[in-house]
Chains A and B, each alone.
Chain A
């Protein structure tokens, strides 16, 4: 078998502030026809850059400084732009992380699908259209005959991701680069997309490079795995060997992340007054009802994880508790006393007691304000401290979140990493000295090692300060790690709730079961077994259910 892609000693640099700094340091890679290679690493490891380089493509401000990229005997670095354009889309295709952003909003799906084959002269428009509908059917998209005539915004994320895979297949390429194709999806949707991608790659014997940060996902998809760390290759082996016997320390640490779990706390006294009690809350956006009769309690020093897919009403519940969205029915009690429904009618002290940490630390911090001011603002507003006292308190808070005050207090958010920014978000919430914090998907934008650090920090703070958390997440591994109690939501209703140990032991509500069984496991046979268990048809049905 001859190699389809041969990358030898490839060095890539990126420019920032007029200085070229290395992104990839001498990577080599061989991919045979019909083979799937998993590229794994944290953000900033250079996975995407390497994946794009395998197409002979670099983004603006990035350059290949040394090395060779051969595709089927063609030197992609030496090839002219026109020669490369002839290969791209036709023999090498790309599936992007966010299908919603990567489909052109101005054109229908089928028009974007047929563009490649027609422009490359592979098929006529009519042929390609017929072929596209057939591909949609094979990828188990609902209503394959019509879905192509929709615009991207009219189709859900999981469906778009499959339509993009179909588009990549439109010229029957020899190689597809999948760049984190399921990272933005819910677990239940992820399974459908993974199964579709795996099937179609097998059917057409296409070679693929599968880029992801999720080990369990790559275990299902790849024949071989290559681990990258900050532009350096860590190790490479076939999937089963890599999972069973990782050699390098870094790989082992990646593998170990999923092991973090807090010990179970003793049961709460039934007579104790909960810190927050959500009682029969219903809410609506305009006339559209989104929450129906939601009730749960959060006790002192406990973490209640609220889980569910996107659109299940998790964040809306948080908006009701904070008073941003006054409920149409029901009350929110704090320490046994009903809170005014609208945040505008709440006292400063009531506002102080409940704080929030957001998913995107990037957008939740004012980019033009220093760390000292970001944390100092609530210190002054709620606690009334000024001058030296305020500064001392900010320094204490920075200590609390394990960032040396002297080093960070005068920095801007842009000078911090993603995990550090999230820590600042935590410090800002702590500055108000609350009893209760809502954590809205606080780890889902972070790499696994960094996320684990944040979870450990939150756990320690809870023990030290007797904080109560409402932890909104769609990631069940996070639930396992940090929750005391779990509330499962679907379509604005609570379908199941109880202590964590009960939730992870059958019998479950069928929806909880679907969620739990959809979390990828490190076993390379997991997806195959699951599909057999559920029956492939069920996945198609699940997709149709989501449509309605």
Chain B
């Protein structure tokens, strides 16, 4: 067991290192954006003095390296800074109310919504993909197998907004079963929230299923030529049992990795679906903040996305290791 703990600690350290490198990349990339917040907010008619004053106020006049370490130091203490856009520029005209919205306050509810959508989607998509993948492997090269492959491939190849509108058409307009708008807010009951989240979740399910299902199918079929699978057949085991009991446990590592990648996508890449359903997730906030150069929010969002990718991949690594009996039970 010790060796497993050592591997996990190594991966964890590597994950932190990656996050650090990513933070540099984020900071550099954000600073490469043309224009800055002061120009964006004051518009064309800004006087150089006004621009300069806002810059000074926000610390944008400092050299990038100083700003990077200030940002990193604060972020390490859990302080992601204050949002530019929500700042009260009254201070600039001499009447500071002292109230500022922190980035954390702004992101927290959005992030929670995103996680909720991702969780609902995962709860549908992961079991569906696994079951479809197992069935496709069981009935490989049959009509069922081909139909599943074609359907999932079609859905992954279609643009997300198209899938969203098709679902709205069938599930909200023609058969009004689900609300087409997902405007959720605080204080909603769980049931209501779930109902409003269902359509975007179904759309995303269509987007991520193909990848996971095909990997499940391929990973299982890959093992079917193994001597131990032949042995299971020669013991008179049913085809279903051969696949679920004998092939699947040995095929878990690649499947887990693809699931993790798709879950990371659900957290970071669903802007289009959020826009279509007016879902208040982190993706929309991110795009809006880029538009107005609200740098603290953009950086914080990027950092959260990067952390989500790294954490999920780390989790996938650890689960893959744990699925290998050679590592779980050393000699």
Contact = CB atoms under 8 A, between A and B. Distances in A.
**Are A and B physically bound partners?**
yes
Interface in B303-331: 325-326, 329, 331
B235 interface: yes
A87 B236 contact: yes
Nearest to B246: A104
B250 interface: yes
Contacts of A87: 236
B331 A153 contact: yes
Contact of B227 (A88, A102, A115, A167): A102
Interface in A48-94: 52, 55, 57, 59-60, 84-90, 93-94
A167 B241 CA distance: 18
Nearest to B238: A85
Contact of A60 (B225, B250, B331): B225
Contacts of B329: 150-151, 153-154
A87 B231 CA distance: 14
A269 B102 CA distance: 91
Contacts of B250: 104-106
Contacts of A101: 226-228
A98 B227 contact: yes
30 contacts: A55-B234, A57-B234, A84-B236, A85-B238, A88-B233, A88-B234, A88-B235, A89-B235, A93-B235, A94-B234, A96-B227, A96-B230, A101-B227, A102-B230, A102-B231, A104-B246, A104-B250, A105-B228, A106-B250, A115-B235, A119-B237, A119-B238, A119-B241, A120-B236, A151-B325, A151-B329, A153-B325, A153-B329, A154-B329, A154-B331
A59 B230 contact: yes
Contacts of A102: 227-228, 230-231
B34 to A, nearest CB: 50
Nearest to A86: B236
B228 A119 contact: no
A103 interface: yes
Contacts of B246: 104, 106
B227 A85 contact: no
B249 interface: yes
Interface residues of B, number: 22
Nearest to A52: B234
A337 interface: no
Contacts of B218: none
Contacts of A115: 235, 237, 245
Contacts of A104: 228, 231-232, 246, 249-250
A330 to B, nearest CB: 29
Contacts of B231: 94, 96, 102-104
Interface string B133-174: 000000000000000000000000000000000000000000
Contacts of B233: 57, 88
Given A98-B227, A105-B325, A106-B250, 9 more contacts: A60-B225, A89-B235, A101-B228, A102-B231, A104-B228, A104-B231, A106-B249, A115-B245, A119-B236
Interface in A150-193: 150-151, 153-154, 167
A107 interface: yes
Nearest first, the 8 A-B pairs at minimum CB distance are A88-B236, A89-B235, A89-B236, A106-B249, A101-B227, A94-B234, A85-B236, A102-B227
Contacts of B245: 115
Contacts of B232: 104
Interface string A470-488: 0000000000000000000
Interface in B240-271: 241, 245-246, 249-250
Contacts of A85: 236-238
Interface in B189-247: 225-228, 230-238, 241, 245-246
Most A CB atoms within 10 A — which of B231, B325, B331? B231
B237 A89 contact: yes
B237 to A, nearest CB: 6
Nearest to A167: B235
B228 A90 contact: no
Contacts of A94: 231, 234-235
A90 B234 CA distance: 10
B325 A106 contact: yes
Interface string A96-136: 10100111111100000001100110000000000000000
Contacts of B234: 52, 55, 57, 88-89, 93-94
A106 B230 CA distance: 15
A252 to B, nearest CB: 34
Most A CB atoms within 10 A — which of B226, B325, B329, B331? B325
Interface in A479-512: none
A89 to B, nearest CB: 4
Contacts of B230: 59, 96, 102
Most A CB atoms within 10 A — which of B230, B234, B246? B234
Nearest to B328: A151
Contacts of B249: 104, 106-107
A96 B232 CA distance: 11
Nearest to B326: A153
Contacts of A88: 233-236
A513 to B, nearest CB: 30
A104 B235 CA distance: 13
A189 to B, nearest CB: 18
Contacts of A57: 233-234
B232 to A, nearest CB: 7
A348 to B, nearest CB: 39
A112 to B, nearest CB: 9
Contacts of B226: 101
A152 B233 CA distance: 19
A153 B325 CA distance: 9
Contact of B228 (A103, A116, A151): A103
Contacts of B241: 119
A92 to B, nearest CB: 8
Contacts of A150: 329
Contacts of B235: 88-89, 93-94, 115-116, 119, 167
A150 to B, nearest CB: 8
A53 to B, nearest CB: 12
Nearest to B252: A106
Contacts of A59: 230
Interface string A359-373: 000000000000000
A107 to B, nearest CB: 7
A167 B231 CA distance: 11
Contacts of B326: 105, 151, 153
Contacts of A60: 225
Nearest to A57: B234
A119 B231 CA distance: 15
Nearest to B231: A102
Nearest to B325: A151
A102 B232 CA distance: 9
B247 to A, nearest CB: 9
